[in-house]
Amino acid sequence: MAGNRNLNAAMKAKKDEFYTQMDDIANELKHYRLHFHDKVVFCNCDDPYESNFFKYFALNFNAFGLKKLIATCYNGSPIAGDELPLLFELEDNTEPKKIAYKVEITEVKDYNGDGAVNLADVQYLIQNDKNVLSLLKGNGDFRSAECIELLKEADIVVTNPPFSLFREYVAQLMEYDKKFLIIGHQNAIHYKDIFTLIKANKLWLGMGFKGGATHFYSVYKDIATAGNHKEGMIRVSGVNWFTNLDLPKRHEELILYKQYTPEDYPKYDNYDAINVDKTADIPEDYYGVMGVPITFMDKYNPDQFEIINTSTIAMPKGAPYINGKRIYERILIRNKKPLKP
């Protein structure tokens, strides 16, 4: 996809500075509210001074009934010394310095007496309570020993992890048996280790971004070919929310209305399955294996369908062929309860 060229180049170069919009976070998190009551939330790739994940949970701390909110940042942002007067004494307050630190919040209320509970109160808390903000010994990497100790304490992890480290990041969440809601690219579905988790129903897609694309705040140049550009942001298509938090969408049955015919659904040259070009065209009466587009995962209901494999993993040459012509990668599925023909 032309719109993904910048993202793919950034992943190869291990450039991961993509910052999520508050609206995108709010639109997704509203579907999981009941999961968060009395839970410890950890945003382990999030500078509280910049991250909208931290700001969202701080603003909604009471509404969600959180027990604690923790955020850590990798190497930190450039923070001027006078912004943290009670914690840091820098030699030259005029020069920003990169620091790694954590913020832990167990209560949010009207600290500054302005009659409202908002980010100003969170800022007041950070500025005036030494128990809230503290330096990390290391660089704040999610793989560091001190961040792993915080991970052990957490119930749910919510963040936009580095795209270049997505597999390693998910593997850590699984190792420590954590609930999570994170952002990644849909191409991750084809990664063998990620797909294995999807097939085992240990990971699935969330509600998602409208149109399968969104804008991130980023330092990179926006070279997407789509027309809706935004100043200071980069448009990225094919991004998804990945989670193991259950949600009603995951159990909505896909309505099927088409019938199978060999003419409409040709078989692959290199695999015993029929090809389905669109999720909406899945035949209601076919019992065998079908190859469907990756966008099917957004409609996947584990009660209705069984995931068999991906063409990348299962097929010779790593892709499906029809009459000698290679076509796009497919997810191989089977209908658990097809109508009798």
Residue 192 lies in a domain: yes
- Note the pLDDT of residue 6: 41
Higher pLDDT, 264 or 120: 264
In this structure, are 317 and 232 located in the same domain?
no
State the DSSP string of 194-248. Answer: HHHHHHTTS-EE-S--GGGEEEEEESS-----SS---TTEEEEESEEEEE-S--G
In this structure, are 183 and 256 located in the same domain?
no
Closest to 239 measured CA to CA, from 70, 7, 68: 7
Q: Is it the case that residue 2 has pLDDT exceeding 60?
A: no
Q: How many domains does the chain have?
A: 2
221-271 per-position pLDDT tens digit: 555 555 555 666 577 667 899 999 999 999 999 999 999 999 999 999 999
**Mean pLDDT (whole number) for 275-296:** 96
pTM to 2 decimal places: 0.84
**Domain final residue pick, 247, 263, 282:** 247
Residue 341 lies in a domain: no
Q: Is it the case that residue 12 has pLDDT exceeding 50?
A: no
In this structure, are 145 and 195 located in the same domain?
yes
CA angle 334, 179, 119 (to 5 degrees): 130
In this structure, are 103 and 241 located in the same domain?
yes
Question: Containing domain of residue 328, as a range?
Answer: 252-335
The C-alpha atoms of residue 49 and residue 106 are separated, in whole angstroms, by 18
Q: Do the Cβ atoms of 265 and 246 come closer than 8 Å?
A: no
Higher pLDDT, 3 or 31: 31
- Note the pLDDT of residue 182: 97
In this structure, are 127 and 155 located in the same domain?
yes
- Note the pLDDT of residue 79: 52
In this structure, are 55 and 105 located in the same domain?
yes
> What one-character DSSP code corresponds to residue 40?
E
Average pLDDT, the chain: 84
Query: What percent of the chain clears pLDDT 90, i.e. is strictly above it?
Result: 59
**Mean pLDDT (whole number) for 117-139:** 84
Residue 340 lies in a domain: no
173-205 per-position pLDDT tens digit: 999 999 999 999 888 998 999 999 999 999 999
Q: Cβ-count burial of 249 within 10 angstroms (0-12 exposed, 13-18 middle, 19+ buried)?
A: middle
Residue 114 lies in a domain: yes
In this structure, are 306 and 165 located in the same domain?
no
Residue 118 lies in a domain: yes
The C-alpha atoms of residue 341 and residue 335 are separated, in whole angstroms, by 13
**Domain final residue pick, 198, 227, 247:** 247
In this structure, are 159 and 235 located in the same domain?
yes
- Note the pLDDT of residue 341: 59
Task: Please state the φ and ψ torsions of residue 281, each to the nearest 5 degrees.
Answer: -95, 5
In this structure, are 22 and 80 located in the same domain?
yes
Residue 70 lies in a domain: yes
In this structure, are 189 and 325 located in the same domain?
no
**Domain final residue pick, 224, 247, 270:** 247
pLDDT band at 85 (very low <50, low <70, confident <90, very high): very low
In this structure, are 152 and 282 located in the same domain?
no
Residue 170 lies in a domain: yes
In this structure, are 242 and 279 located in the same domain?
no
Residue 314 lies in a domain: yes
- Note the pLDDT of residue 66: 97
141-162 per-position pLDDT tens digit: 999 999 999 999 999 999 999 8
- Note the pLDDT of residue 232: 63
pLDDT band at 338 (very low <50, low <70, confident <90, very high): confident
- Note the pLDDT of residue 9: 42
Q: Do the Cβ atoms of 57 and 158 come closer than 8 Å?
A: yes
